[in-house]
Amino acid sequence: MNIKLGENLPESLARFLGELGHTVHTVRQQELSGRPDGEIWRAVQIEERFLITQDLGFSDVRKFAPATHHGILLLRLHTPNRENLIQCVAELFREENVDALRSCLVVATENKVRVTYP
């Protein structure tokens, strides 16, 4: 899977996902940090990437309707430190068929994963 990590996610998460065989680009690597959501979204769409982010700006299902993009994983943790973020994504990528999440809006918390399918 081609993935784009939001600017507020640890670089070690990119390495972890790469070890699982995914191709990962980060907002920081591409010098998009601090850019408006619209600019980041255009880059994600042009590159056909699955976006992993904590940015609530990408949570509006009306604006980011499933089947109109390559997928969004929104991480909503009570304590979003490096360890918890990596653990949440690691569990999701180990337990779910992530290929089936393409074109979906996925919201992950410490306790559950909600998927809005096309």
Could you report the average pLDDT of every consecutive run of 10 residues in the chain (118 residues)?
96 95 95 94 97 96 94 98 96 94 96 95
CATH, residue 104:
3.40.50
Question: How many domains does the chain fold into?
Answer: 1
Among candidate residues 50, 71, 63, the one with its CA nearest the CA of residue 3: 50
| Beta-strand runs (E) in the chain | 2-5, 23-26, 50-53, 72-75, 105-108, 113-116
Q: Where in the sequence is the domain holding 97, given as residue range(s)?
A: 2-116
**What's the predicted TM-score (pTM) here?**
0.96
pLDDT score, position 110: 94
pLDDT score, position 77: 98
pLDDT score, position 86: 95
pLDDT score, position 36: 94
Q: In which order are the strands placed within the sheet that holds 23-26? A: 23-26, 2-5, 50-53, 72-75, 105-108, 113-116
